[in-house]
Amino acid sequence: MDRTLRRIDKFAIWLAVAALISIMLLTCVSVTGRYFFNTPIPDDLSISEKLMVFLAFLPLAAVQASREHVFVTIFSDWLPNRAKVVLEIFGIAVGIAFFGLLAWASWIAFIEAYAVGSYTQGPLNVPHAPFKFVLFVGVVLFVVRLVVDFFSDITALISGRSQASKSEEDRVLDIELD
């Protein structure tokens, strides 16, 4: 299961990287066309805006898998490890609830955009539905990763082998010492 999720996470990251490169190339070509030929790429801003969905939502599950989200630990640094783990589990449960609702809402938005056939106003008429589906997939992958982490953290807590995520300060110190 974990191996499959890691492969999916890697694929999602590669899609996000491809979107970033596409945005960069699109912007460079459009600016060059505007400057030298007075003809930018039509709907370049709209396309870049749509591709940002790939960048923002597809890597979420991979970031969660490596526990690299920003943690606010100002009030929990003084707590023992077990209490920190309980707080992390609580945070994951809140994340499951919030992003579960977001997944449901993004699915409904995708279905509506697909049914209506909505698109951007412009020369290319870029459809909304594919990008809303990417948003849905990214959020679902994140929720799946949260659920896996939730159960693995509870199992580790019950067995007594749980370890809280490192604080930002500890991560910085680890980087500086390497």
What are the residue boundaries of the structural domains of the chain, listed by start?
Answer: 2-177
What the block records as the tokens of 108 is 């409904």
Give the residues across from 127 on adjacent strands.
119
Work out the number of other CB atoms within 10 angstroms of the CB of residue 91: 16
What the block records as the tokens of 111 is 């279905």
Q: Residue type for 71, please?
A: F
Residue 171 pLDDT > 90, yes or no?
no
Average pLDDT on 9-13 reads 94
- Residue ranges in the chain assigned as alpha helix (H): 2-32, 44-57, 60-65, 81-116, 129-159, 168-177
Give the residues across from 119 on adjacent strands.
127
Nearest to 141 by CA among 64, 77, 75: 64
What the block records as the tokens of 29 is 């070509």
Residue 155 pLDDT > 80, yes or no?
yes
Query: What tens digit of pLDDT does each residue of 18-74 get?
Result: 999 999 999 999 999 999 998 888 888 899 999 999 999 999 999 998 887 777 777
What the block records as the tokens of 50 is 């749509």
Q: Give the Cα separation of 168 and 83 in Å (integer).
A: 18
The b/e string for 134-144 (b: 16+ C-beta within 10 A; e otherwise) is bbbbbbbbbbb
